[in-house]
Amino acid sequence: MSNDCRAAGLPVAIAQFTVAREPERNLAVIDEFVRDAATQGARLLVLPEGLIARDGDDDAFAAAHAQPIDGAFVAGLKAISTKRNITLMGTVHIASLEGVADSRVSNVFLVIRGGEIVATYRKLHLYDAFSAKETAVVQPGTKMPPIVDIDGWKVGVMTCYDVRFPETARSLAVRGADAIVVAAAWVRGSLKEYHWKLMTAARAVENTCYVLACSEVSHRNIGCSRIISPLGEVLAEAGSNSPELITANFDRNALESARQTLPVLHNRRFADPQLR
C-alpha cells in the first residue's frame, strides 16, 4: 500500500499491561500484544514507560535495571518489530548513553520500526512531585521531543510527566504533528486519574491533535490508557485494573475538519521560538 493511500487513515493501538521484574517476561508480553495489534491491522503500537523491569513497591527498581541501548532488551524489541512489521513506541531506562557524562541513567523514548531505532527522546520533565524524586536516579534530557513519519502521519512523542507541561505538546503541534503519543507510568493517588484524563484531553483539544496516552497498569499505576480525537472525543479507553489492548483509526478528514472548525494553531498571536 502506498504512503498516499495510508495517509488518509492510520490504524493505531495501545497495549496497557503490568511491567514485570523480569525483562524476558516483558518481551514475551509485548510480543503477544504486538501480534494481536498487527492482526487487527495496526501500524503503530504504543507501550508504557519503563519497559525493561518494574517493581511497584520500589520506585528506583526501573532505573536500577537499566541496560545499554545495544543490550538484550532493546535487541528484543527490534526483533519483534521486524517480525510483526509494526512501529513500536515506549520508554526504556538506558545506562551509559554515549556522549552523556552522568552516573544517572536516561529514560529514553524509543521509536522502533523494521528492526531499527528510528528516533529517540530523553525525558525532559522528571517526576519530582507528589513526594517522588525521579532526578535522584534519572538525568533529564535537553532537547524537545521529535516527530516521526508513520505512513504519512506526523507523530510526536512525550513521556509521562511531560503531559503536565503544555509547551511540550505545543512544540510538537507547531512543528507539524498530527498526533501526540504519551508513554507513562502514571502513579495512583488522590485526583491523579482525574488529572490524567483532564490533561490528555486538553493536550488534544488545545493542539487539535490526536492523542494516544498509554499508562502502565498495576497496584501502583492507574492504567486508563486512552485514544482521543483532535476535538477531545475519547475514541477508545482502557480500564484501571488489568492489561488491555485498545485500538482506533486516525482519520485525515476528521483532523482537517477539526483544524478548520477550531483553528487555534493559526489564530495564536504569540509564538515562542524555543518551541520550534
To which residue does cell 478528514 refer? 253
- Report residue 63 CA to chain centroid gap: 18
State the catalytic residue, choosing from 123, 134, 214, 216.
Answer: 123
> Is 123 one of the catalytic residues?
yes
> Is 49 one of the catalytic residues?
yes
Let me know if 38 is exposed, middle or buried by CB neighbors in 10 A (0-12, 13-18, 19+).
Answer: middle
CATH number for the domain that contains residue 156: 3.60.110.10
**What pLDDT does 275 receive?**
66
The pLDDT-based confidence of 60 (bands split at 50, 70, 90) is confident
Evaluate if residue 4 carries a pLDDT over 60.
no
Q: Examine residue 76 and state whether it is found in any structural domain, yes or no.
A: yes
Number of domains in the chain: 1
Q: Examine residue 271 and state whether it is found in any structural domain, yes or no.
A: no
Residue-wise pLDDT for 36-45, tens only, equals 999 999 999 9
Q: State the first-to-last Cα distance of the chain, in angstroms, to the nearest integer.
A: 32
**What pLDDT does 8 receive?**
79
Residue-wise pLDDT for 159-175, tens only, equals 999 999 999 999 999 99
Q: Examine residue 200 and state whether it is found in any structural domain, yes or no.
A: yes
Q: Examine residue 266 and state whether it is found in any structural domain, yes or no.
A: no
Q: Examine residue 212 and state whether it is found in any structural domain, yes or no.
A: yes
Helix (H) or strand (E) holding 4: helix 3-6
**What pLDDT does 6 receive?**
45
Q: Amino acid identity, residue 203?
A: R
To which residue does cell 498571536 refer? 269
State the catalytic residue, choosing from 5, 24, 32, 49.
Answer: 49
This prediction has a pTM of 0.94
The pLDDT-based confidence of 100 (bands split at 50, 70, 90) is low
**What pLDDT does 269 receive?**
87
Domain containing 171 equals: 10-259
> Is 160 one of the catalytic residues?
yes
Q: Examine residue 3 and state whether it is found in any structural domain, yes or no.
A: no
Evaluate if residue 1 carries a pLDDT over 90.
no
Evaluate if residue 5 carries a pLDDT over 50.
no
Rounded Cα distance, 156 and 253, in Å: 19
pLDDT mean over 242-266: 97
State the catalytic residue, choosing from 22, 98, 133, 160.
Answer: 160
Q: Examine residue 2 and state whether it is found in any structural domain, yes or no.
A: no
Q: Examine residue 214 and state whether it is found in any structural domain, yes or no.
A: yes
pLDDT mean over 224-241: 98
